Structure 1
């Protein structure tokens, strides 16, 4: 009986936590990290601000959890794409393109990752420990690119540089895509990303 009550309490607590995170994502999208408040998140979730402190110590802690879930989804998408390939070159392409596609299809997650909700493009952090965890999650999602490059014979240093190049190229194209600026060039962001990846793979294979 005690175990059942404990299990029920944990389930209720988990449900409340998810409601808070869902509400928080909406508030962050509307107000940004700086403009959001615990009170606004609590109202959206249907709780009091005091109830939020039972689950989270601050709005930065909530933002970190929302971003952590987003990065977990990104990592899963990349790993699923890579798992369906057999050769290093195809794994590299699958990893880079699935990273791009995830954010092409989920622009709010891109905003979330770059703290762009109304905050503009400026440095932001959630505390050293949280930042380290989140940066590690992002790096893990990108790591299959470097791993495939190493399989193709390049050094770890060059593989890491390629990972950064793919990240930078993807985010640049995604910015053009989601702001509509890509239209002024009469270009396709997915096509440009694919061409970039193919060129880098060809360069690796030649080397």
Structure 2
């Protein structure tokens, strides 16, 4: 019979090693991008042998997916926390701002989520299986927006379009703010996001 305390210590050690590997990998991804990164470089940065990290992740793509998956889980927690109370309109605005604020205050997560680590703006992803898993997590993080739109009396298609609109608008503003381009207009990205959300709420409700 396995000693529960020993099993707990083993799990804690494994989780610590996994965290160390993920942190080291993010540094490598930032410096080299996903394409330029290697398991050997990640292992060296983490202080392990390549064989040691293969026990936790089968490839650098799986490491990237794990890091992005954890980021999306934190995003989901933020959007859900912001929408625990309020009317449908209030929750819609709160969810949109929570999405924006998460990435605005966590620029590394923004780069990670949009594959911007030395990759530029272009279609990128991982394997079909990993992409599917990550897309499910992204949609779960956006679910409070979709639900608020539905609760206002709108149909599924309208809720889907409004959710996509918020994702697109927030992404554009975050990119402009993240690169400093919005400074050309002396405007505040969050204020613009809030204003756009308020405008969208005017379309909430039955068609």
- Give the structure-1-normalised TM-score: 0.95
Aligned-partner Cα distance in 1 for 2:15–2:153 = 46
What is the aligned partner in structure 1 of residue 171 from structure 2? 171
Structure 1 stretch displaced more, 15-24 or 157-166:
15-24
1:104 aligns with 2:104: yes
- Report deviation, 1:2: 3.2
Q: Deviations over 1:156-204 (max 9, x none)?
A: 1010000000000000000000000001112111111000000110222
What is the aligned partner in structure 1 of residue 27 from structure 2? 26
Q: Deviations over 1:84-114 (max 9, x none)?
A: x221111101101100010111111111011
Instruction: Within 5 Å, give how 1:25-64 maps onto structure 2.
Output: 25-64=26-65
Aligned-partner Cα distance in 2 for 1:147–1:5 = 44
Q: What number of residue pairs does the alignment pair up? A: 206
For residue 204 of structure 1, give the secondary structure of its aligned residue in structure 2: coil
| 2:173/2:189 contact within 8 Å kept | yes
Q: Deviations over 1:98-145 (max 9, x none)?
A: 000101111111110111100111112211111111001111111111
Instruction: Within 5 Å, give how 1:74-89 maps onto structure 2.
Output: 74-83=75-84, 85-89=85-89
Aligned-partner Cα distance in 2 for 1:99–1:66 = 18
Instruction: Within 5 Å, give how 1:128-147 maps onto structure 2.
Output: 128-147=128-147
Segments of structure 1 that go 5 or more residues without pairing to the other structure are none
- Structure 1 residues 206 and 186: CA distance shift in structure 2, 3 A: farther
For residue 83 of structure 2, give the secondary structure of its aligned residue in structure 1: helix
What is the aligned partner in structure 2 of residue 187 from structure 1? 187
For residue 203 of structure 2, give the secondary structure of its aligned residue in structure 1: helix
- Structure 1 residues 153 and 94: CA distance shift in structure 2, 3 A: same
Aligned-partner Cα distance in 1 for 2:111–2:60 = 17
For residue 119 of structure 1, give the secondary structure of its aligned residue in structure 2: coil
- Report deviation, 1:206: 8.7
- Report deviation, 1:10: 2.5
- Give the structure-2-normalised TM-score: 0.95
- Report deviation, 1:150: 1.0
Q: Which stretches of structure 1, 4 residues or more, deviate above 6 A after TM superposition?
A: none
Structure 1 stretch displaced more, 172-181 or 25-34:
25-34
